[in-house]
Chain A
Amino acid sequence: MSGQTICIVDDDESVRESLGELLDAAGYSVQSFASAKQFLAGSAPSACSCLVTDVRMPDMDGIALQEELARRKTGFPVIVMTGHADVPLAVRAMRAGATDFIEKPFKPETLLTSVRQALISGARTQGPANPEIAERLGGLTAREREVMDLMVHGHPNKVIAQKLDISFRTVEVHRSRILAKMGAENVAELVRLVLSAPQHRA
């Protein structure tokens, strides 16, 4: 574990600092940055084993940071945090290659586990493809599958209702059934699960 540097990018000082303390206590060496630009400006990207970044930040947001890292071909895993239950954002982050997408407030153990897994599996694999996921996906009806596809593409219920020409209420029913069948607590987790299934890796 030692020798691995975790970089943190978050504009909120308390989150940045406390996360540093958490990772420090867990035995990682930590480098913290208040903005994506600061992080990119220094030598940190070359020494980084794993990046934990907030998604919404002034100047340059987490997605733009991911895109820049992809352009630089840095290769280290990126864990994205968000304070907003913002599905479109989660989808964009995952599609931009995030290893994990964590909603604030998160259990510290969740983050540590995520970091641990990210370090083990590295950037490329983006977590093990779970054979169970394919099975769970098979359990969805055709209509549920349609609704889910729209959900993980970040469409809100209202838009899904319009696109499929069904009522808002029906979308809500499908939505809760999909989450139950997929074993996901929320849409962010659903996105993570679905994107980890091989056929969804674009």
Chain B
Amino acid sequence: MTDKSRDLFSLADHGALFGILTSIAADGIIVIDENARILFYNDACRKLFQYTSDEVLSHNVNMLMPEPYRSEHDNYIARYRKTGDARIIGIGREVRGLRKDGSEFPMYLSVGEGVIADRRVFVGIVHDLTRIRTVEEHRAQSDRQLAQIVESSDDAIISKTLAGIVQTWNAGAERIFGYSPAEMIGRPISAIIPPERQEEEDAILERVRGGESILHYETTRIRKDGREIAISLSVSPVRDASGAVIGASKISRDVTERRRAEERENALQAELAHVARVSAVGQLSSALAHELNQPLTAIMNYVSAAKMRLSEGAQGQSDKTVTLLDRAIGQAERAGAIIQRLRAFLEKREPQRAGEELNTVLQEAIALGFVGSTDEGVKLVLDLAEDLPRVQVDKVQIQQVIVNLIRNATEAMRDSSVRELVISSYRAGPGLVEIAVADTGPGISDAIAAQLFEAFVTTKERGMGVGLSICRTIVEAHGGRISAAPNHPSGTVFKIQLPVNG
């Protein structure tokens, strides 16, 4: 006891202790009497209310209160004294304070009562809430802003639990999927997922559970009206304060229109490619007619010769006649093959890819593109690598590119003294094959080279300038590249690089 009593403050120390406590307290401390007159007002109060002690002591405490507290305060004390009905004493509540300059601030007021020297006193402790309120207000405002952004977004923004139950559903979601928030919140997200894609949703949730985000995943969903729509989906995990994944937020964009536009563009490109093939054949028509004339002439010669032999009726002529007729048949087949190749080339068709032998594709294209070129004195040199892997290509479109390059090359060499067309195929790296078409023409000027593959750039008097731009479109649609470089000593080499797996 003696030890302990030595540690404790003596009664005489209490006055000093009170002084210390009230002056260091960050909260305001006010003591009033039964008539609400201020008896004590600490340093912190001065900062809070801007009044000095002299300005407030002996004044009614309601000077520190804005309306309606100010008017009610006297009644409140009177009622308490009469009925003991405490509204605040021993409870504490949030009220507003009034500063000397007339401004108000939020504060938490705790009130207690006591008796000092037979006088009943009330002690109020004022805790300033300005900072907390500002932070809270800030947070609330940013929440409101975020909510507005979410609400006004064209994209569907949805959050859901890891079990796939919808928690929030914005206006964009309503517009895209047709369901109102009332119809979806608290319900499974599966309502908008096609049955065959249910597993996909499970897989996505599994990845999100592992903390992974999925960006711009293209898939399909079903609207309330049953219509299927194409969407681009981004999914991110939602975490609680401890960082644990508790749900997923999904942003879906309706890409149906974009998808349709892409389909329209593809159809247009196919159409354009077809028009280009028709036009290429149009330019080849006289050479093709010549190509057909040869076997037709031969057929007629053979058959006439056979007929003459038969009408002679001479012995030992039948073997000869059979030979002549066989040759006629062979030539008829040759003519048929030309027509067939032409028909396949001109056919209006959906683009379709298959594993093709590159050299076969090349040779067929050469048969078409090189038509008539021998007559014009162009020498063809083939350098085709053996054992090339099959390539996933649309045969007709790739042939179209090669025919185009061959025609350009032969035209370019028209006025050259050396006319040699070298076509080669080879591996260009892992998973890559390349075709090169090299001519000995005058080459391409730097000005043209820079925009060689642009549409409507041409050096030909009658050219539209779409040939090479279509070539580029086709090659790039195959995931490949087309380029041109000077040939040595003169001319140009066009290279088409294609990935084996498209």
Contacts and interface: CB of A to CB of B under 8 A. Distances in A.
Interface of A: 11-12, 14-15, 17-19, 21-22, 24-26, 56-59, 81, 83-86, 104-109
A22 B301 contact: yes
Contact of A83 (B294, B306, B376): B294
B298 A83 contact: no
20 contacts: A11-B374, A18-B299, A19-B297, A21-B301, A21-B305, A21-B324, A24-B305, A25-B309, A26-B308, A56-B290, A57-B375, A58-B376, A58-B377, A83-B291, A84-B286, A104-B296, A105-B300, A106-B297, A106-B300, A107-B300
Nearest to B374: A58
Contacts of A26: 305, 308
Contacts, number: 89
B304 interface: yes
A15 B302 contact: no
Contacts of A14: 294-295, 298, 327, 331, 334
Interface string B290-331: 110111111111111110110000000000000010011001
A58 B375 CA distance: 5
Contacts of B331: 14, 18
B309 A83 contact: no
Contacts of A105: 293, 296-297, 300
Which of A21, A106, A108 counts the most B-chain CB atoms under 10 A from its CB?
Answer: A21
Main secondary structure of the interface of A (DSSP, over half): loop
Contact of A104 (B294, B303, B377, B379): B294
Which of B301, B305, B327, B375 counts the most A-chain CB atoms under 10 A from its CB?
Answer: B301
Given A25-B304, A56-B290, 15 more contacts: A17-B327, A18-B299, A19-B297, A21-B305, A25-B306, A56-B375, A56-B376, A83-B293, A85-B289, A104-B294, A105-B296, A106-B300, A108-B300, A108-B301, A108-B303
Contacts of B309: 25
Contact of B305 (A12, A18, A57): A18
A125 B343 CA distance: 47
Interface residues of B, number: 31
A67 B374 CA distance: 22
B290 A84 contact: yes
A57 B376 CA distance: 7
Nearest to B309: A25
| 8 interchain residue pairs of minimum CB distance | A18-B301, A83-B290, A108-B304, A25-B305, A14-B298, A18-B298, A105-B296, A104-B293
Main secondary structure of the interface of B (DSSP, over half): helix
A16 to B, nearest CB: 9
A12 B291 CA distance: 10
A111 to B, nearest CB: 8
Contacts of B286: 84-86
Contacts of A56: 290, 375-376
Contacts of B377: 58-59
Interface in B255-306: 286, 289-291, 293-306
A21 B306 CA distance: 9
Interface in B326-378: 327-328, 331, 334, 374-378
B298 A15 contact: yes
Given A12-B294, A25-B309, A83-B289, A18 B327 contact: yes
Contacts of B305: 18, 21-22, 24-26, 108
Nearest to A60: B377
A105 B303 CA distance: 13
Nearest to B301: A18
Nearest to A19: B301
Which of A58, A83, A108 counts the most B-chain CB atoms under 10 A from its CB?
Answer: A83
A177 B378 CA distance: 39
Contact of B297 (A15, A25, A57, A84): A15
Contacts of A109: 304
A119 B286 CA distance: 32
B404 to A, nearest CB: 22
Contacts of B289: 83-85
Contacts of B304: 22, 25, 108-109
Contacts of A85: 286, 289
A55 to B, nearest CB: 9
A25 B309 CA distance: 6
A67 B308 CA distance: 35
A18 B293 contact: no
A127 to B, nearest CB: 22
Contacts of B328: 18
A104 B327 CA distance: 18
A12 B295 CA distance: 9
Nearest to B373: A58
Which of B290, B328, B331 counts the most A-chain CB atoms under 10 A from its CB?
Answer: B290
Which of A15, A18, A108 counts the most B-chain CB atoms under 10 A from its CB?
Answer: A18
Contacts of A81: 297
Nearest to A56: B375
A17 B298 CA distance: 8
A18 B327 CA distance: 8
